[in-house]
C-alpha cells in the first residue's frame, strides 16, 4: 500500500477521491438543508394560512358548533389536528385528524413555545416546531420515534362568543418530511457509492493514461543513464506529456551527439598520445597519475624500479611545482637512459588542480653529441700525426738534413705515404658521410659468384703467404648468380679480409665461406687475437680500432672501414654481424637476400 500511495497513480487517485468526497459531502449537506428549509417554510405557511382561514370562518359563522364540525372534517382531510380552547385554556372542542398519532393535549397546550397566551390575548404568533412525549398508546401507522412525536403547531385567536375569547390550536406532524429527507439522504448515499466506484475507475484510468508515458520516460531515462543513447520515447499525444517526451527525445539525441563527439575527441586524443614519441603524464591534485602513454609508461616503470620508496612517481618534482606554481625542467638519468622532463602546473581558476609532464628520451641526442665530440677528437688525432710527420720531414728536406740521395728518397717516401694516408682518410670520411646521409649509389649487376670470390681470394693469397697465414675458401652455396654491386661488395670483403690478416699471427688461418640457398651468407673468420666483449657493440662505429698491440707492427687503418662496410651492406638490404672470443678469433657474417639464377 505504501508503494501505491507513493506512486503517481495512488496520489492522483487519493486526490480525486478526496475532492469528490468533499464536494459530495458539501453538496449533500446543502441539499438536505435546502429541502429542510423549503418544506418547513412551506408547511409553516400552509398551516398559518389554514389556521387563519378557519378562525375567520368560525368567527363569521353564527352556528359555532356546525362550524367546528366543519373545521374538524376539513382538518381530517388535511391531516391536521384541531383543538379549540376558551380563555381559561379549557378545551372546547378538538379533532385528532386522520393518520395522526394521539398526542397529549395538555402537554401541547402547556408548551411555552406554542405561545398560547399571546393567542388568547388576540395576537397571532407564528407556527413552531414541538417535540411531544406520549404515553405509548398510538395508532398503528404512527411514525413516532423513541416515545416522542415531532409536530408543527400554531395558535391563533378566536372569538367564541360575544365577550368571550378563545384560541384555535392546529398542529401537523412533520414525520412525512423527515421520511422525505431520509429518502433523499439514502438516494445521495446510493449516488455517492456509485459515483465513488465510477470515480475510482476513472481515477485509475486517468492515472494510467498519465503515468503510462511517464513510466516509459522513466525506463528510457534509465536506458539513457546506462549508455543506450539511441533509446526513444514513443509520442502518442500532443499535450504537455507529448511535448515532454519530444523534449526528452531531443535531449537524448543531442546527448548522443555530444557523447559521440566526446568519444571521438577522446579517441583522437588517445591516438595522439599513443603515437607521440614523447611521454605524457597527467597528475591530479591528489598526486595520482590519471593519464599516460606508452613512452611515459616505459619511463614510469624504470622510475618505480629505481625509486621504490616514493609513494608515487615524480613525487618530489610534483611537490615543487605545486608549491611554487611554476613549470620545471630537468634532465633525469634512469636505468642508463637520460630523460628530459618538463612539468607544468595545471591551473583551474587560479588554483592548481594537478600537473602535466612531458618526458622525452634524449639518450640518442646525448649519444650523438658525444659521437660528434668524439668524431672531432678522432679526426683531429688522425690528422695531427700525419700532418706532424709531413711538417717534420718536409722541414728536414728544406734544411738539407738528408746527406745522401738515399736518405732524401726515404724522407720523400715517408711524406708520400703520409699524404696517401691522409687522402684515404678524407675520402673515407666523405664516403661515410654520403652513405649515412642516404646517398649510397649502387650499380648492381648479375655477378658469377664463384669466379668473383676466387678472384678476391687470389688477391690476398700472396699477402697471406708472406705473413705465413693460411687463407682458405669454402664455396658451399647453391647460388650461382647474385645481383650485387661488385665494386662495393669487394670493398667490404677487402676490408674484412685485410683486418683478419692484420690481426692474425703467423701460422694462423683465415677462412672465406659462402653458403645459403635463398640468401647469400658470406663469412670471414680468423684465428687471431679476437675482440674484447666490451668492444663488440662498437666495432661498426666510426674510428673504432683494435688495440695497436695486435697490429703486428704494421700501420693501422683509419677506423672507418667497418662503418663503411655496414652502410654498404645496409644499402644491399642485408645485415652484417660479428662474433668473437678474445684469444680465439673473430667471425664476421654477411647475409644478403638475392634472387637466385642458374647460369
C-alpha cell at 28: 449533500
Is the model more confident about 93 or about 516?
516
Q: Is the pLDDT of residue 234 over 80?
A: no
- Which residues in 349-485 belong to E strands, given as ranges? 351-361, 445-448, 470-475, 481-484
DSSP conformation class of 131: E
Is residue 522 very low, low, confident or very high in pLDDT (cuts 50, 70, 90)?
very high
Residue 62, C-beta contacts closer than 8 angstroms, at least 6 positions apart: none
Q: Can you point out the beta strands (E) in 126-269?
A: 128-133, 148-161, 164-173
Q: How confident is the model at residue 302 (pLDDT cuts 50, 70, 90)?
A: confident
Tell me the DSSP string of 249-287.
Answer: HHHHHHHHHHHHHHHHHHHHHHHHHHH-SSEEEEEETTS
DSSP string, 277-292: SSEEEEEETTS-EEEE
What is the mean pLDDT of the segment spanning 83-112? 75
Contact 206, 239 (CB under 8 A): no
Q: Which position has the higher pLDDT, 571 or 40? A: 571
Q: Quote the cell numbers at residue 136.
A: 405509548
Whole-angstrom Cα distance, residue 265 to residue 393?
A: 74
Secondary structure letter of residue 480 according to DSSP: -
Q: Does the pLDDT at position 563 exceed 90?
A: no
How far apart CA 210 and CA 204 sit, in angstroms, is 10
Task: Pull the grid cell for residue 591.
Answer: 647475409
pLDDT the model gives residue 217:
79
Q: Would you state the pLDDT for residue 525?
A: 93
Q: Is 87 in a helix, a strand, or coil?
A: coil
Tell me the CA end-to-end span of the chain in Å, nearest whole number.
100
Among 14-18, 71-75, 242-246, 565-569, name the one with the lowest average pLDDT.
Answer: 71-75
Contact 585, 527 (CB under 8 A): yes
Return the pLDDT at 336.
Answer: 77
Residue range 375-391, pLDDT digits in tens:
666 666 667 767 777 77
Greatest mean pLDDT among 90-104, 157-171, 246-260, 553-567 lies in 246-260
Residues contacting 1, CB < 8 A, separation 6+: none
The reported pLDDT for the residue numbered 512 is 93
Q: Label residue 6 by pLDDT band (50, 70, 90).
A: low
| Spatial separation of the C-alpha atoms in residues 522 and 449, rounded to whole Å | 11
Work out the average pLDDT over 195-213: 75
**Least confident among 44-53, 343-352, 457-466:** 44-53
What is the predicted pLDDT for the residue at 474? 92
Question: pLDDT per residue over 461-483, tens digit each?
Answer: 988 999 999 999 999 888 888 88
CA angle 77, 80, 85 (to 5 degrees): 125
Model confidence band, residue 509 (pLDDT cutoffs 50, 70, 90)? very high
- Statement: residue 136 has pLDDT above 50: no
Distance (Å, whole) CA 492 – CA 513: 14
Average pLDDT over residues 215-244: 76
pLDDT at 51: 76
pLDDT at 144 over 50: no
Q: Rounded to 5 degrees, what are φ and ψ at 543?
A: 65, 20
User: How far is CA 290 from its chain centroid?
Assistant: 15
Which residue(s) pair with 423 in the sheet? none
- What residues have CB less than 8 Å from 162, skipping those under 6 apart? none
CB atoms closer than 10 angstroms to residue 435 = 19
Instruction: Using alpha carbons, select from 231, 345, 226, 219 the residue that is nearest to residue 282.
Output: 345
- Return the pLDDT at 513: 93
Q: What is the pTM of this model?
A: 0.40
- Alpha-carbon distance of 389 to 509, in angstroms, equals 35
Cell of 500: 683478419
Q: Determine the Cα–Cα distance for residues 29 and 119; give it in Å rounded to an integer.
A: 36
Residue 227: pLDDT band by 50, 70, 90 thresholds? confident
How far apart (Å, rounded) are the C-alpha atoms in residues 548 and 378? 15
- CB 341 within 8 Å of CB 329: yes
> Which cell is 144 given?
413516532
For the stretch 580-594, pLDDT in tens is 888 889 999 999 987
Q: Of 56 and 86, which is predicted with more confidence? A: 86
Question: Which set of grid coordinates corresponds to residue 541?
Answer: 662505429
Could you tell me which of 187, 157, 177, 186 has the C-alpha nearest to residue 169? Answer: 157
For β-strands 470-475 and 509-515, DSSP reports them as: parallel
CA 257/CA 252 separation, integer angstroms: 9
Amino acid at each position: 500500500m505504501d508503494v501505491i500511495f507513493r506512486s503517481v497513480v495512488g496520489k492522483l487517485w487519493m486526490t480525486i477521491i478526496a475532492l469528490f468526497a468533499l464536494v459530495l459531502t458539501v453538496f449533500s449537506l446543502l441539499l438536505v438543508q435546502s429541502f429542510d428549509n423549503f418544506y418547513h417554510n412551506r408547511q409553516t405557511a400552509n398551516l398559518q394560512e389554514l389556521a387563519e382561514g378557519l378562525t375567520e370562518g368560525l368567527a363569521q359563522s353564527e352556528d359555532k358548533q356546525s362550524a367546528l364540525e366543519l373545521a374538524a372534517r376539513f382538518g381530517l382531510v388535511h391531516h391536521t389536528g384541531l383543538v379549540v380552547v376558551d380563555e381559561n385554556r379549557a378545551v372546547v372542542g378538538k379533532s385528532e385528524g386522520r393518520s395522526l398519532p394521539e398526542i397529549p393535549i395538555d402537554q401541547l397546550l402547556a408548551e411555552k413555545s406554542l405561545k398560547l397566551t399571546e393567542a388568547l390575548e388576540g395576537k397571532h404568533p407564528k407556527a413552531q416546531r414541538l417535540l411531544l412525549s406520549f404515553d405509548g398508546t398510538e395508532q398503528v401507522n404512527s411514525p413516532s420515534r423513541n416515545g416522542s412525536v415531532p409536530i408543527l403547531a400554531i395558535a391563533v385567536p378566536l372569538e367564541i362568543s360575544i365577550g368571550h375569547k378563545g384560541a384555535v390550536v392546529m398542529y401537523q406532524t412533520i414525520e412525512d418530511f423527515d421520511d422525505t429527507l431520509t429518502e433523499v439522504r439514502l438516494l445521495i448515499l446510493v449516488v455517492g457509492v456509485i459515483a465513488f466506484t465510477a470515480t475510482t475507475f476513472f481515477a485509475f484510468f486517468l492515472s494510467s493514461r498519465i503515468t503510462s508515458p511517464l513510466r516509459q520516460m522513466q525506463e528510457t531515462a534509465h536506458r539513457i543513464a546506462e549508455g543506450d543513447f539511441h533509446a526513444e520515447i514513443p509520442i502518442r499525444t500532443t499535450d504537455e506529456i507529448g511535448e515532454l517526451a519530444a523534449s526528452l527525445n531531443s535531449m537524448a539525441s543531442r546527448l548522443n551527439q555530444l557523447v559521440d563527439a566526446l568519444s571521438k575527441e577522446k579517441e583522437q586524443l588517445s591516438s595522439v598520445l599513443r603515437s607521440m614519441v614523447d611521454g605524457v603524464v597527467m597528475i591530479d591534485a591528489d598526486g595520482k597519475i590519471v593519464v599516460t602513454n606508452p613512452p611515459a609508461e616505459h619511463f614510469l616503470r624504470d622510475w618505480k624500479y629505481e625509486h621504490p620508496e616514493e609513494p608515487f612517481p615524480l613525487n618530489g618534482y610534483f611537490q615543487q611545482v605545486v608549491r611554487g606554481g611554476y613549470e620545471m625542467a630537468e634532465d633525469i638519468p634512469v636505468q642508463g637512459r637520460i630523460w628530459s622532463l618538463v612539468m607544468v602546473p595545471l591551473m583551474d581558476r587560479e588554483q592548481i588542480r594537478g600537473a602535466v609532464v612531458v618526458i622525452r628520451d634524449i639518450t640518442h641526442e646525448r649519444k650523438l653529441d658525444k659521437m660528434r665530440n668524439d668524431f672531432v677528437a678522432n679526426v683531429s688525432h688522425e690528422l695531427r700525426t700525419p700532418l706532424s710527420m709531413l711538417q717534420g720531414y718536409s722541414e728536414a728536406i728544406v734544411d738539407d738534413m738528408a746527406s745522401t740521395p738515399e736518405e732524401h728518397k726515404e724522407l720523400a717516401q715517408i711524406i708520400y705515404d703520409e699524404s696517401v694516408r691522409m687522402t684515404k682518410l678524407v675520402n673515407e670520411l666523405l664516403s661515410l658521410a654520403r652513405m649515412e646521409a642516404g646517398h649510397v649509389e649502387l650499380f648492381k649487376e648479375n655477378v658469377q659468384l664463384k669466379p668473383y670470390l676466387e678472384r678476391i681470394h687470389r688477391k690476398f693469397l700472396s699477402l697471406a703467404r708472406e705473413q705465413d697465414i693460411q687463407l682458405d675458401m669454402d664455396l658451399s652455396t647453391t647460388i650461382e648468380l647474385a645481383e650485387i654491386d661488385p665494386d662495393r661488395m669487394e670493398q667490404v670483403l677487402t676490408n674484412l679480409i685485410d683486418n683478419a690478416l692484420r690481426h692474425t699471427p703467423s701460422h694462423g688461418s683465415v677462412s672465406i665461406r659462402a653458403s645459403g640457398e635463398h640468401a647469400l651468407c658470406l663469412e670471414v673468420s680468423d684465428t687471431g687475437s679476437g675482440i674484447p666483449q666490451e668492444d663488440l657493440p662498437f666495432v661498426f662505429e666510426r674510428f673504432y680500432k683494435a688495440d695497436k698491440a695486435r697490429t703486428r707492427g704494421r700501420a693501422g687503418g683509419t677506423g672507418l672501414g667497418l662503418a663503411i662496410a655496414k652502410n654498404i651492406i645496409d644499402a644491399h638490404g642485408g645485415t652484417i654481424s660479428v662474433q668473437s672470443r678474445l684469444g680465439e678469433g673473430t667471425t664476421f657474417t654477411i647475409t644478403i637476400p638475392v634472387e637466385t639464377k642458374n647460369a
